[in-house]
């Protein structure tokens, strides 16, 4: 089965994360230049069952790429390949090539923990740690040794919360538990936590499915702001959301990537009848 393709690097800071965030913002002019990640012939098996049949997909730098398609078609499986989260599933086996800035992320030299700092993830259900708001954010930078002292850590926490649009709501209650926030605030806390380790790519697996419409709108606005500095890949069942937040959309069907292109083209002029059927609600 062939896929239709419609047609469209920041340096990682090893020192101060706050400086890294600033540097990333300063190089915003590079937005959209080239592909951040590239998948070629990606197959995934869960035991004997094949979930992905050979996916080719380019992930452009500092754009939002939406993965859509009917339940069980392999969107989350593909997303998890991008930061090797499938490594944590014993029966999962991944074949093919996935690169980040041209480097094979499945290379033996690559440490998956370091990779996941560069390619962060936000899950469907907000999952703050049972810790204070401050410590939720500081956890990753502590593990990765990104702050040399308390002042620097305070700065990272503040900048990450600002980036996630949560600072004003929580700046006076940083010692309170993250679990005490509303669902929408918790999800923005999780986005701040992902941002705190200065990732280059943020993967989002249905990040709004547990949120009400107001919280959803908030997170969608945030995604739009984040793409200035980060490459984002989002799995969503909500086609309006894909149309609102993404610049590129890839349609998955039964383990294949059927069609990818500019979001507007995919929604107004899908080439494959399976894509057309899905976006017009004939199935899925
Ligand atoms: N941990 C796992 N073990 C075994 N099979 C799995 C596992 N995770 C996913 N699968 C199977 O792989 C296929 C693709 O699942 P995946 O969750 O990637 O699809 P999806 O498109 O994200 O679905 P949904 O939209 O319902 O979340 C499905 O048949 C699913 O049952």
- pLDDT for the residue 282: 74
Q: Ligand 1 pocket test: pick from 44, 45, 47, 51 the residue with the most ligand atoms within 8 Å of its Cβ.
A: 51
Tell me the CA–centroid distance for residue 101 and ligand 1, in Å: 27
Place of tokens 């999780």: 190
In a domain, residue 77? The reply is yes
Is pLDDT of 135 > 60? yes
- pLDDT for the residue 9: 34
Closest ligand 1 atom to the C-alpha of 73? 21
In a domain, residue 6? The reply is no
In a domain, residue 217? The reply is yes
Q: Which two tokens stand for residue 33?
A: 């230049």
- pLDDT for the residue 23: 42
Tell me the CA–centroid distance for residue 67 and ligand 1, in Å: 14
18-70 tens-digit pLDDT: 444 444 344 333 334 589 999 999 999 999 999 999 999 999 999 999 999 99
pLDDT band at 6 (very low <50, low <70, confident <90, very high): low
CATH number, residue 189: 3.40.50.300
In the predicted model, what is the mean pLDDT of residues 63-78? 97
In the predicted model, what is the mean pLDDT of residues 127-156? 95
Ligand 1 close to Cβ of residue 257 (< 6 A): no
Residue nearest to atom 25 of ligand 1 (CA): 71
Residue nearest to atom 31 of ligand 1 (CA): 72
- Structural domain including 119 reads 13-128+180-279
Helix (H, G, I), strand (E, B) or coil at 97: strand
Ligand 1 close to Cβ of residue 123 (< 6 A): no
- C-alpha 179/C-alpha 21 separation (Å) is 26
In the chain, the number of structural domains is: 1
In the predicted model, what is the mean pLDDT of residues 97-103? 96
Burial class (CB in 10 A: 0-12, 13-18, 19+), 271: middle
In a domain, residue 258? The reply is yes
- C-alpha 142/C-alpha 197 separation (Å) is 9
Q: What percent of the chain has pLDDT over 70?
A: 88
In the predicted model, what is the mean pLDDT of residues 145-154? 94
In the predicted model, what is the mean pLDDT of residues 163-183? 95
In a domain, residue 159? The reply is no
């Amino acid at each position: 089965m062939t896929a239709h393709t419609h047609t469209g690097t920041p340096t990682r800071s090893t020192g101060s994360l706050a400086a890294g965030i600033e540097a990333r913002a300063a190089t915003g002019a590079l937005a959209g230049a080239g592909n951040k990640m590239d998948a070629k012939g990606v197959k995934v098996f869960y035991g004997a069952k094949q979930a992905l049949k050979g996916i080719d997909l380019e992930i452009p730098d500092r754009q939002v790429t939406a993965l859509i398609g009917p339940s069980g078609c392999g969107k989350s499986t593909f997303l998890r390949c991008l930061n090797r989260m499938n490594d944590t599933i014993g029966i999962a086996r991944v074949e093919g090539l996935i690169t980040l800035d041209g480097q094979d992320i499945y290379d033996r030299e690559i440490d998956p923990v370091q990779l996941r700092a560069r390619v962060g993830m936000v899950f469907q259900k907000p999952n703050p740690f049972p810790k204070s708001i401050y410590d939720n954010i500081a956890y990753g930078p502590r593990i990765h040794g990104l702050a040399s002292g308390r002042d620097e850590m305070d700065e990272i926490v503040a900048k990450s919360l600002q980036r996630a649009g949560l600072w004003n709501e929580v700046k006076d209650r940083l010692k309170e538990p993250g679990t005490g926030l509303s669902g929408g605030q918790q999800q923005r806390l999780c986005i701040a936590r992902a941002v705190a380790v200065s990732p280059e790519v943020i993967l989002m697996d249905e990040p709004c499915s547990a949120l009400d419409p107001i919280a959803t709108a908030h997170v969608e606005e945030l995604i739009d702001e984040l793409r200035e500095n980060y490459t984002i890949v989002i799995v969503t069942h909500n086609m309006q959301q894909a149309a609102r937040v993404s610049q590129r959309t890839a349609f998955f069907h039964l383990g294949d990537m059927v069609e990818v292109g500019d979001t507007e083209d995919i929604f107004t002029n899908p080439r494959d009848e399976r894509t057309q059927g899905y976006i017009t609600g004939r199935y899925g």
